[in-house]
Amino acid sequence: MFDAVTEGIKKWLISRFASAIKHATRAEDRVLAIQWLSDSRAVVASDLRPVEKFKKLNALINSRTAVVAIAKSVAEAVSNYRKSDLPLSMKIALPATLAAIPLVGGQGAGVAAFGSALGVPVLLLIFLGAAGITSIIEAVVTNPEARPHIAEIIDVIVQDERLRRASAQMKAAMKEQPMDPTRFAVPVEEVALRKHLLGMDPFQFERHTMSFFEAAGFESWATRKSNDFGVDGFAIHPEGLMIIQCKRNAPSNKVGRPTIQQFKGVIEEQEAFRGYVITTSGFTEEAIESAGRSEKIFLIDMDTLVQWHADAPTLM
């Protein structure tokens, strides 16, 4: 019961942070807030002594006017928790839960005691931990209002701990001319849908394909600029990087083994979580055999892609 209440409080606090950032007037301020959270996450996850963590977190809050405003908004929301939509059990537990967070010298300090020192938001970030801060970032970057600044957001994403094994070249490719996933209007009838997908502009096809990953709940984007990896899109899974290659081929032009072998090399070298090859044609038997030797490679042919339009994939 206690764990459930604590997790409920964490989810509520995450939503308060995310709401404060989403309501920032300027998109630039939202980007600054995401960078602040990313920097704060690194501090929270570090081996610094508690007192040093508190000082660094407080300095990060005070480094930008926009961040100070967001932090104050969060602090105000928490101080008014009695008027919030929190269940009664969580309202009762919240002060004691925060007061029990160990600070300097093993002692705890609640909202009131801590507020006059390093600030309520610092206490909350310590309480949420690195995983909680990541959840705030994810809640914000999936916000459509933030997407016009997708390039700046990707700058933060590529610093994510889950992508630590990706090479510098791959991280650079992730940031090259990013495009939002976009679900373009397509015919419902299957024959017309197949014809439409085959005739789509290649870049539109990539954005359309990446929209399925976004709809499944992953931060995702396409990249317009060609790169040495032959990669057309990226998605961030809780377990790591997902790399997507799109092949808008004619039905008779099946994807062959050399393409799959090269793609497998990219996935392995980058230590990616998964790799998807998505085509409007199909795959040769040799390509299917090659992909079957890796648990990370997923082949999506035209039949499967058509099915995605009828029944959205979970991609979990």
Residues 16 and 141 in one domain: yes
Distances from the Cα of 171 to the Cα of 101, 135, 157, 174, 232, angstroms: 37, 22, 10, 5, 13
The residue among 108, 126, 157 that closes a domain is 157
Q: For residues 28 and 12, state if they share a domain.
A: yes
CATH number, domain of 306, equals 3.40.1350.10
CA 65 from centre of chain: 25
**Is position 316 within any domain?**
no
Q: Supply the angle between the helices 27-44 and 65-79 in degrees, to the nearest 10.
A: 70
Using the 3D structure, point to which of 106, 131, 157 is the last residue of a domain.
157
Q: Residue length, the chain?
A: 316
Q: What DSSP string runs through 191-254? A: HHHHHHHHHS-HHHHHHHHHHHHHHTT-EEEEE-S--TT---EEEEETTEEEEEEEE---TT--
Q: Which of 103, 130, 157 is the last residue of a domain?
A: 157
Which residues are bridge partners to 222 per DSSP? 179, 233
Q: Return the structure tokens found at 294.
A: 């890796």
Q: Which CA distances in Å does 96 have to 5, 6, 10, 77, 80?
A: 12, 11, 14, 17, 15
In 3D, which of 151, 287, 173 has the Cα closest to residue 241?
Answer: 173
pLDDT of residue 233: 94
Q: From the centroid of its chain, how far is CA 71? A: 22
d(CA 151, CA 262): 27
pTM of the model: 0.61
Query: What are 272's two structure tokens?
Result: 């990616």
In the chain, the number of structural domains is: 2
pLDDT of residue 148: 60
Domain identity same for 263 and 180: yes
Same domain (yes/no): 149, 244: no
pLDDT on residue 314? 81
Buried b vs exposed e over 88-110: b needs ≥16 C-beta within 10 Å? eebbebbeebbbebebeeeeebb
Sign of CA dihedral 201, 207, 32, 242: negative
Tokens of 67: 């961040």
Same domain, 143 and 172: no
Token duo for residue 182: 């976009």
Q: Are residues 100 and 211 in the same domain?
A: no
State the pLDDT at residue 104.
Answer: 43
Pair type for strands 219-223 and 274-279: unpaired
Note whether residue 149 is domain-resident: yes
Are 174 and 131 found together in one domain?
Answer: no
Residues 25, 44: Cα–Cα separation, whole Å: 28
Name the nearest CA neighbour of 243 among 209, 215, 287, 194: 209
Report the chain's C-alpha Rg in angstroms: 23
Rounded to whole angstroms, the Cα distance separating 301 from 297 reads 13
230 belongs to a structural domain: yes
Write down the pLDDT at residue 116: 42
- Amino acid, res. 13: L
Whether residue 21 sits in one domain with residue 134: yes
Task: Supply angle C-alpha 54, 165, 161, rounded to 5.
Answer: 25
Query: In the chain, how long is the greatest CA-to-CA distance?
Result: 71
Is there a single domain that holds both residue 102 and residue 70?
Answer: yes
Which residue range forms the structural domain that includes residue 207?
A: 164-310
Per-residue pLDDT of the chain (316 residues; tens, 9 = 90+): 457 888 888 999 999 998 898 888 776 788 788 888 888 988 888 888 887 888 888 888 887 888 888 988 888 888 888 888 888 888 888 777 777 665 544 444 444 444 444 467 888 888 888 889 988 887 877 665 556 667 767 777 787 778 888 998 998 888 888 888 889 999 999 999 999 999 999 889 999 999 999 888 888 899 877 777 889 999 988 889 999 999 999 999 999 999 999 999 999 999 999 999 999 999 999 999 999 999 999 999 999 999 999 998 888 7
d(CA 250, CA 184): 20
